[in-house]
Amino acid sequence: MLPLLQRYFAQQTLIANLVGERPLPVRLLAVSKTRPANDVVALYKAGQRDFGENYLQEALKKQQLLANFDITWHFIGPIQSNKTRDISRYFSWVHSVDRLKVAVRLDQQRPINLAPLNICLQVNIDEEDTKSGFYLDELSNVIEPILALKNVNLRGLMAIPKAHKSTDEQRDGFKRLAQAQEKINKSFNIQLDTLSMGMSGDLEAAIAEGSTMVRIGTAIFGERVKNTV
C-alpha cells in the first residue's frame, strides 16, 4: 500500500480512538496545500471527500485538474479582499473569515445558483500579532450582521492556537474557543455546529475539547514540499 494511504488510515483510526464514545463525530479535513493533485486522487479513491487549501491560485489549478471528482473544497488560508470573488465561487467552505468586510463580500459574490457558502470565523485566540482573526471580545459585534447575510451560512469558529508541546497546555486555547462558541449560541439563540480546530500536532487536545473538524496536513501527506500542482 502507498505510504500516503497508510498514514491516512492511521489518522482515521487515531481520530476514531480519540473520539471514543463522544456523541459528535469529528470530520477529517485533508489539508492538501502544496501537494500534487495525484495525492488528492489517491485519498479520494480511499473515500476522502473534504480537502483544504490555503493558496487560491494553487487551489484553482488543482480544482481544474480534478473537476470530475465530487470533492468538497474548503478554503483555510489568509484572505485578501481582491480574492473573495473566486473564493466564494469555487469553495463550499471558508474557515478563515477574519473581518466583517470579508464575510460581506463573500455573501455578495456567492453565485446565486449555489447553496449558501459555509463559513467559520477565525479567532485569534492568543491575540498574537503574527496571526489573523477576530479577538474574542470583537466576536459578539459581528455575529448579528453576519447572520443577516443570506448567501453565507455561519457554521462556527476556527482557531490556530499558539504552539505548545504538551497536550494539557494545548487544550487551553481550544477550551476557550469552545466556550466562546457556547456563549454565542446562548446569547444569539442559535446552533453553531462547527468547531474547526486541531492540526497534525495538536489534534488530541482539540478533540478532547470538542473539535468537530480537524485540519490535517503533515500527518497524512508527510512533510511539506514546495508549491507544486
Decide whether 11 or 88 has the Cβ nearer to ligand PLP: 11
Q: Are 102 and 81 in contact (CB under 8 A)?
A: yes
| Binding flag, residue 30, ligand PLP (CB under 6 A) | no
Residues near 56 by beta carbon (within 8 Å), at least 6 away in sequence: 75, 77, 83, 86, 87
Site string for ligand PLP, 85-124 (x = CB under 6 A): ----------------------------------------
Nearest C-alpha neighbor of 41 from the set 8, 11, 74, 77: 8
CB of 31 to ligand PLP, least distance (A): 4
Nearest C-alpha neighbor of 50 from the set 33, 31, 35: 31
List the one residue from 199, 206, 207, 213 that touches ligand PLP (CB under 6 A).
199
List the one residue from 218, 222, 225, 228 that touches ligand PLP (CB under 6 A).
218
List the one residue from 12, 54, 109, 185 that touches ligand PLP (CB under 6 A).
54
Cα separation, 144 vs 169, whole angstroms: 32
List the one residue from 11, 18, 26, 33 that touches ligand PLP (CB under 6 A).
33
Of the listed pieces 20-28, 81-89, 141-149, 214-222, which binds ligand PLP according to CB under 6 A?
Answer: 214-222
CB of 130 to ligand PLP, least distance (A): 13
- What would the grid cell of residue 14 be? 487515531
Name the closest residue to ligand PLP (Cβ). 217
The footprint of ligand PLP (CB under 6 A) covers 31, 33, 54, 76, 160, 199-201, 215-219
